[in-house]
Chains A and B, each alone.
Chain A
Amino acid sequence: MLDVINLSHTYGAGPQAHQALGGVNLHVAEGQLVSVVGPSGCGKSTLLRSIAGLVRPTGGRILIRGAQVDGVPDDLAVVFQDYSRSLFPWMSVGENVELPLQRRGLDRTARRAAAAEALDAVGLGNAAAKFPWELSGGMQQRVSIARALAYRPSLLLMDEPFGSVDAQTREDLEDLILAVRGHHRMTIVLITHDIDESVYVGDRVVALTKAPARVAGDLQVDLPGPRDQIATRELPGFVHLRAEIGRLVRGKHADLLPNLLPNRSVH
C-alpha cells in the first residue's frame, strides 16, 4: 500500500539547516494500522506531511500503491492534532464533514447522507447543525475523524490525533478508531509520541530515532483483539512491548540490556 524509501528532509539551508528525516524506510501493507512513535521533535510530523504531499521531501521517494507521491495524493485523508484549527469555524459540523465530499463528485443529498452516517459512526449523530466551537475538544476531534471517514480514503493519516484531549477522552477516541477501522477497510498511519498508545492501537509499531529520524525498530503487535483499555494494558506482552519501544525511542537499544528484557518475542 505505502512504501517510504530512504526518505530524508532538511529544512532551510546553510548553518540554519535542520535535518528532520535522515533516511526513513517503511513499508505498510494494505489494511494495516501502523503506529509511528518517536521522541518529540524527531520529525514524525514531517514524515506524515511528506506522505500527505504537504511537504516536498528533499530526498528519497514515497510510493502509494506503486505510484510515486508528487503533490497531494488522491484518496487520502489527514486528521491533525489541532482540531480547533483544522475544522472550519464558519461552517456547521455537518458542512465541515460534507465539504471534502465535493471532491468525490457526490451530489448534495448524497453528501448529506454520507456526512450523517459518518457523524453517527463517531457518536455525534445529532450535532450536524451545531458549530464546531460549540462542542468540547473531544467532540471536535470526533468531527475531524468523521470528516476523514466520510471521505472514505484508502489511506488515513493521523498526526498526534489525541494529543490535545484529556486522558478519558483519549481512551474513548482510541477505542473509536479501533471500532471504525473494522467497518471501513482502510490503511492507517498514526503518529504519536505516546508509547502506550502506539502499542494499544497498532498492529505494528515503528519507532523512530531522534532527529534526523531513522527507523530505530519495527515491532509486530500480536496482542489479542478486541483490545480493552484495562485488560490489554495489563497483558505481559503489552508491558514487554512498551518497555522495548521505550528503550528504542530513548536511543538505548534493547540489546544493551539483555537481563532486563530476556525475551523479544511477545504473544
Chain B
Amino acid sequence: MTSTRVIRGAIGVAGLLAVAELAGRTGLLDPAVVPLTSTVVSDTVGLAVDSEFLTDVSFTLIVWAVGLGLASLLAVSAGMLLGSLPRAESAVRPVLEFLRPIPSVALIPLVTLVVASDAWMKITVVVYAAMWPVLINTMYGLREVDPLAKETLRSFGFGRLDVLRRVSLPSAAPFVGTGIRLAASVALIVAISAELLSGGAGGIGVYIIKAGSADRVDLMLAAAMWAGVLGLIVNSVLVRGQRRLFRWHEART
C-alpha cells in the first residue's frame, strides 16, 4: 500500500525531471538561461561534499536552530501565561492580532539597525516569525484542556499550579508539538530569506547570491534543492517525534 504510493511518487518526480531535461535538450528551454536538469542534479550531488557549501549550510542551521529554540521557549511561556490568565489574554490579543500579520522579512532593516551582530539579527527575525505558530497553538491547546480532567485533579486537593503542571501542560503538549513543527518550516524559510536579503558571512542564501553574481544558475538551483531537502528532513523528523511522544493523543482522536 505505502510502497506503491512511494513508487508512484518516484515515477512522478522522475517524469518531471525527464520532461525538464528533454525541454532543455530539444532547445525548448535555452540551457544558457535554464540549465539542464542533469547538470543541476549532478551539481546537487556535488554540493553534498563541497566543504564551502557545507559551511554555509551550517551557518543557516545554527540560525535556524537557535531561532527556533528561543521562539519555542518564549512562545510556550507566553502562551501558558496568557492561556491561564483569560483577562490578560483579552488585553493582549488585539496587540497580537496586529503584530502577527507583519511579514518578518519587513523587519530586517529595522532589526539590522538595532542588533549589531549579523547572526543575532537573523536569529531575531527568525524568532519573530517562528513564535506565532507556537504561541497560537499553545494558547489553543490550553483552551482545549478538558475541564473534567482539571476537576479530577482538583478534587484530590491539588492546587492551581499543580493542575497547570500535571494536567493543562501535558494535555496541551500535542498542540505545542504541532506549533513547533509548523514553526520549524517557517524558521527555515525566514533564515534563508534573511540571508538572501541582507547577505552576511555565510548561509545557504548567501551561497545562492554568490552563485547568482557568478552567473551560475545551475548552482543556485542546486543550493535551492538542498534547502528543500533540509525542510523535508526537518519536517519528517518532527512528525515522527510527535507520533512517538504523543501516541496517546493520536490513539484517542
Binding site for B on A (CB under 8 A): 49, 52-54, 72-74, 76-78, 80, 82, 84-86, 88-90, 99-100, 103, 131, 133-134, 151
Q: What is the CA–CA distance of A90 and B247 in the complex, to the nearest angstrom?
A: 8
Residue of A nearest to B167 (CB): A88
Known interface pairs A90-B170, A99-B166; A85-B155 also in contact (CB < 8 Å):
no
**Which residues of the other chain, A, contact B151 by a CB distance below 8 angstroms?**
49, 54, 78, 80
**Interface pair B166/A133, CB less than 8 Å apart:** no
**Which residues of the other chain, A, contact B173 by a CB distance below 8 angstroms?**
90
Known interface pairs A54-B151, A85-B146; A90-B156 also in contact (CB < 8 Å):
no
**Interface pair A86/B149, CB less than 8 Å apart:** yes
Interface size class of B (residues with CB under 8 A): 20 to 34
**Interface pair B171/A82, CB less than 8 Å apart:** no
**Interface pair B251/A131, CB less than 8 Å apart:** yes
**Interface pair B249/A151, CB less than 8 Å apart:** no
From DSSP, what is the main secondary structure of chain B's interface residues?
Answer: helix
**Which residues of the other chain, B, contact A151 by a CB distance below 8 angstroms?**
156
**Interface pair A88/B170, CB less than 8 Å apart:** yes
* CB of A116, distance to nearest CB on chain B (Å): 19
Residue of B nearest to A78 (CB): B155
CB-CB nearest 5 A-B residue pairs: A100-B156, A78-B155, A85-B148, A89-B248, A86-B152
Known interface pairs A82-B148, A88-B149, A88-B167; A133-B251 also in contact (CB < 8 Å):
yes
24 residue pairs from A and B, CB less than 8 Å apart: A54-B154, A54-B155, A72-B154, A72-B156, A72-B157, A73-B157, A74-B157, A77-B155, A80-B151, A80-B152, A86-B148, A88-B149, A88-B166, A88-B167, A89-B248, A99-B156, A99-B166, A100-B156, A100-B158, A103-B157, A131-B248, A133-B248, A133-B251, A134-B251
**Which residues of the other chain, B, contact A89 by a CB distance below 8 angstroms?**
248-249, 251-252
Q: What is the CA–CA distance of A151 and B158 in the complex, to the nearest angstrom?
A: 13
Q: What is the CA–CA distance of A90 and B149 in the complex, to the nearest angstrom?
A: 12
**Which residues of the other chain, A, contact B148 by a CB distance below 8 angstroms?**
80, 82, 85-86
* CB of A61, distance to nearest CB on chain B (Å): 20
| Residues 238-253 of B at the A interface (beta carbon under 8 Å) | 246, 248-249, 251-252
Of listed A84, A99, A134, A151, residue having the most chain B CB within 10 A: A99
* CB of B44, distance to nearest CB on chain A (Å): 42
- 7 new A-B contacts at CB < 8 Å, known A74-B157, A88-B149, A90-B171: A54-B155, A72-B154, A80-B151, A88-B166, A89-B248, A89-B252, A103-B156
Residue of A nearest to B174 (CB): A90
Q: What is the CA–CA distance of A84 and B253 in the complex, to the nearest angstrom?
A: 12
Known interface pairs A54-B151, A99-B166, A131-B251; A77-B146 also in contact (CB < 8 Å):
no
Chain B 161-173, CB-CB to A under 8 Å as 1, else 0, gives 0000011001101
Of listed B154, B155, B171, B252, residue having the most chain A CB within 10 A: B155
Point out the residue from B152, B158, B171, B251 that lies within 8 Å of A78, measured CB to CB: B152
**Which residues of the other chain, B, contact A134 by a CB distance below 8 angstroms?**
251
Q: What is the CA–CA distance of A86 and B149 in the complex, to the nearest angstrom?
A: 5
* CB of A218, distance to nearest CB on chain B (Å): 26
Q: What is the CA–CA distance of A54 and B155 in the complex, to the nearest angstrom?
A: 7
Q: What is the CA–CA distance of A76 and B171 in the complex, to the nearest angstrom?
A: 25
* CB of B109, distance to nearest CB on chain A (Å): 45
